[in-house]
Amino acid sequence: MTTTLAPVADQASTFRSLRTRLFRNGLRVALEHGRTRLFTMLFTSVFVFVFTLGVGFYLFNQLAKANIPFKGAIVEGLFDLLFFTLGTMLVFSTGLILYASLFTSPEARFLLCSPARADRIFATKFQAAVAFSSWGFVILGIPIFLAYGIVSGVPWYFYALLPAYLLGYVLLPGSVSAALCLLLVRYLPQNKRQFFAVVGVIAAIVIGFWLYKVGISLKRTAVTGGKELDDLIGQFDLFRSGFAPSHWMTRGVMAAARNDLSGALVPLAQVWSNGLLLYVVAAWIAKRVYRTAYDRIAGGGRGKKIYKTSWLDRIMESLVFYLDKRTRTLVVKDFRTFRRDPTQWAVLILFGMLMLFGASNFRQYYSAGLAVMDRYALSLMNLCGTAILLCAGLSRFMFPLISLEGRKFWILGLTPVSRDQLLWGKFVFALTGSLVIAEGLIVVSDVLIGLPWDGVLLHAAVMAVVAVGLSGLNVGLGAYLPNFKETDPSKIVVGFGGTVNMVVGLGFLVMVIGTMAVPLHTAQIAKGMRGGEGAINPWVYAGVPVGLLVGALAVVLPLRAGARSLRAMEF
Amino acid sequence: MIEISNVSKSYGPKIAVQDLSLHIPNGELFAFLGPNGAGKTTTIKMLCGLLFPTTGTVRVGGFDLRSHGDQARALVSYVPDQPFLYEKLTGREFLQFTADLYAMPRDRAAEKIDEVIDLFHLDEFVDDLTERYSHGMRQRTVFASALVHDPKLLIADEPTVGLDPKSIRELKTLLRKLADSGTTVFLSTHTLDIAQELADRIGIIDRGRLLGCGTMTDLRKHAAMDGNLEELFLKITEVPGVEITV
């Protein structure tokens, strides 16, 4: 015999009011007790917005000077690529955040024990994940299109439709990644490592082959021009087909720019209707499989794995031989945690390989004697790329280190290791790893490009300053602005402290590369344009001491602030 | 109220619960005991619908947790050993959220919220954000929210951890009162004297198997000895077993 049940709750309204309360209370606390943090966050968002707007203005003005039509195929191709890239990034970021919030968070556990419906829990988590992962998309996307609109001259409704386009677009990759996340967790083969290795290898081969074809087409285009351009554009057919949501966006935005209102509204409807449909499909999948997927992940333990020390640990320990035994132990502990999580280092390896692939391609251009591909311009781009990669990598892996100690911090707090040693250990760990990776990448890729030895040496010096400075910034700010309540590192990174850290890091890169490397490259490019005549003024190295000073400040100031904050912390 | 029939649950090759059958009627206070890793929490998670049995069925109030989970969970309240609260809600807002989730009418919810605030002495802090609560305050708030919707089955995992002696005394009285008024209470604990004092029946599980179940008299017969629950527990669980793997 079954028991009589209470009426069914309007769960949508219950969760809506929960979110409203959480937001209202969070905002009130931020205004009362964390005004500095709130305003810094707003300021950094405005800074990113204005900076992107400025870069957008500059680039679109360059297009205007080159007489490239604003509403033609080239700009359309660029927008296709932009939307496709952002969409792909949203698939990954939303999927990762959603996985953590659906399957590992205490809130999910709490809600799954309540009468809340599986699809309702999913909906709440989905909205939060999409908001988290797409704010950067909106902050970066709006200024790019504002700059485009202002420079090219578009009707007023182009601006009015822009937020509707961007908000509608985030639904599509978000829903796809949500559905994939649920289905993978539910039906993934038990041997996950093997599965991901196979998928990773297949993806790398497909991407590698595609990049190779793009490279070949680019080379032909640059050499001959004319009809080979079609080959190059043909490589991007995937983004430009009528089935690609990124192309619906481009079509709509371009139609609005051309003052074709109906042409703008149809793709907008296409984006929203498909986004909403996919969202409904993802919610339906959640209703069917979320609970069983949770059960599977909670109950899917494997056989007992025995973890041992590795020769890699011994190498790391020997690299930091100059530290005392206790700090060395801490460094090895952090390294061991890092190496046992393949999701951490796999991304770095992937980016590193892409960079070397790019560098080897550039070398081919240079060998072909293409005047448009100045090696100093290429190597500067390469330097910037490596520095940004390092900045993103350290922000992702080193900044959250202190926060991830979380509520277990008291264990370290009670050990005979001082908190300064703790911080110093993390700094040395970050520095050792980033020096090895960044110096290796920059030297190998510069050699591939064929940069003269003085340029390679300068780059190695710049990268050393960047590695030291970014390590200091990430570890220092990680201790100064920790988030002990969050267990998901990706949320720590996109939170307030992570955002400040990322923006400061990027500012630091601009200063160091701007003072240490840009003058020499500018002089060399100018010399190249003069046909290689004239000597390089030694004053191009005048910025090096300034860069060194900026690097030293980036280490000392954040580490001092972090150490002070860590010493004052109560557990 | 609870019908667990031939339930086994595996975590990969490890069997956490093996062939467990348990029937607990309405209004019984059942204490579930066992050493660490015995399978208590896994059983509780299956009762809450968080995990599903690998084989066998779990029914609450007549509803199968696998096929009619939403209906079954509407009858259950679960108080875990690590209480969860939304940090940016006040205690009162959390109670309101729980009442809304269980579809309580507004007037009835307001009445019950006041009642549980009074019962668990939350009035001094119930309007503060829960991020400022101590462990004991959190535990009391979670208990209040578990009872706000008048559950038919209350499941509590180590409910006395973090509570002061007075609160423990009050909790014990409350649990007994709830059972007497018809609510089934499923209590998992390591504190044997609480189980002995309160429980109508006691189940002892070890290495996934139910080794003994019944009243104190039944357990004494089973262990073939007199003595208190601690002595019986040690006797029943002392037989060395082998870890079960498939």
Does residue A248 form part of some domain?
yes
pLDDT at position B246 is 34
- Non-local CB neighbours of B82 within 8 Å, separated by 6+ positions: A106
- Give the DSSP per-residue string, A182-196: HHHHHH--S-HHHHH
Across the range A470-482, mean pLDDT stands at 91
Domain boundary among A252, A278, A298: A298
The answer to whether residues A206 and A291 belong to one domain is yes
Same domain, A94 and A204: yes
A516 in any annotated domain: yes
What residues contact residue A20 under an 8 Å CB cut-off, 6+ apart?
none
- Condensed to tens digits (0 to 9), the pLDDT of residues A160-194 reads 888 888 888 889 989 998 999 899 888 877 666 66
Domain of residue A469, residue span: 310-562
Task: Pick the last residue of a domain from A298, A331, A366.
Answer: A298
Dig out the tokens for A41 from the structure.
């966050």
For residues B93 and B128, what is the distance between their CA atoms, to the nearest angstrom?
10
Indicate if A314 and A272 belong to the same structural domain. no
Distance CA B101, CA A107 (A): 14
* Partner-chain contact B45 A302, CB within 8 Å: no
Residue A8 has what DSSP assignment? P
Domains and CATH numbers, chain B: 1-75+155-246 (3.40.50.300), 83-150 (no CATH)
Residues A324 and A412 in one domain: yes
Instruction: Please tell me the predicted confidence (pLDDT) of residue A304.
Output: 53
- Mean local confidence (pLDDT), A275-285: 94
Q: Is residue A259 part of a domain?
A: yes
Q: Is A2 on the interface with B (CB under 8 A)?
A: yes
Is residue A384 domain-shared with residue A454, that is, in the same domain?
A: yes
Residues A250 and A322 in one domain: no
Q: Is B217 helix (H, G, I), strand (E, B) or coil?
A: helix
Q: How far is CA A87 from CA A64, A286, A423, in A?
A: 27, 22, 37
Distance from CA of A561 to the nearest CA of B (A): 26
For residues A234 and A107, membership in a common domain is answered with yes
Number of domains present in the structure of chain A: 2
Is B78 an 8 Å CB contact of chain A? Answer: yes
**C-alpha span between B212 and B34 (Å, rounded):** 10
- The CA distance from B38 to the nearest CA of chain A, in Å, is 15
Phi, psi of A550 (to 5 degrees): -60, -40
SS (H, E, C) B144-197: HHHHCCCCCEEEEECCCCCCCHHHHHHHHHHHHHHHHCCCEEEEECCCHHHHHH
- Asked if residue A145 is part of any domain, the answer here is yes
Handedness of CA A347, A349, A355, A357 (dihedral sign): negative
B11 close contact with A: CB closer than 8 A: yes
pLDDT tens digits, A81-128 = 788 878 887 888 788 888 888 988 889 999 999 888 999 999 999 998
Please report where in the chains the tokens 């975590």 appear, as a residue. Answer: B11
What is the band of B245 on the pLDDT scale with cuts at 50, 70, 90? very low
Same domain as A171, residue A88: yes
Report the predicted TM-score, pTM, of the whole model to 2 decimal places: 0.74
Is the Cβ pair A107, B86 closer than 8 Å? yes
Task: Dump pLDDT digits (tens) for A408-462.
Answer: 666 766 777 778 888 888 898 889 888 888 888 888 888 877 788 888 899 999 9
Q: Which of B14, B62, B89 sits opposite A2 (nearest CB)?
A: B62
Is residue A303 in some structural domain? no
d(CA A464, CA B113): 61
**A291 plus A318 within the same structural domain:** no
β-strand pairing of B76-79 with B153-157: parallel
Give yes or no: residues A473 and A551 share one domain. yes
Choose the final residue of a domain: A275, A298, A321. A298
For the stretch A109-118, pLDDT in tens is 999 998 889 9
> pLDDT per residue over B36-94, tens digit each?
888 888 999 999 988 999 999 999 988 898 888 888 998 999 998 888 999 889 999 99
Alpha-carbon distance B100 to A56, whole Å? 48
Residue among A42, A138, A467 nearest A146 (CA): A138
Give dist(CA A94, CA A494) in Å, integer.
12
Q: What is the interface pTM, i.e. ipTM, of the complex?
A: 0.90
The verdict on residue A19 lying in a domain is no
Q: Is residue A304 part of a domain?
A: no
Q: How far apart are CA A315 and CA B108, in angstroms?
A: 66
A9 in a structural domain: no
Q: What are phi and psi of A372, to 5 degrees?
A: -70, -20
* Cross-chain residue pair A113–B78, CB shorter than 8 Å: yes
Best CA proximity match to B73, nearest among A291, A449, A81: A291
The verdict on A506 and A399 lying in the same domain is yes
B244 shares contact with chain A (CB less than 8 Å): no
- The reply to whether A293 and A354 lie within a common domain is no
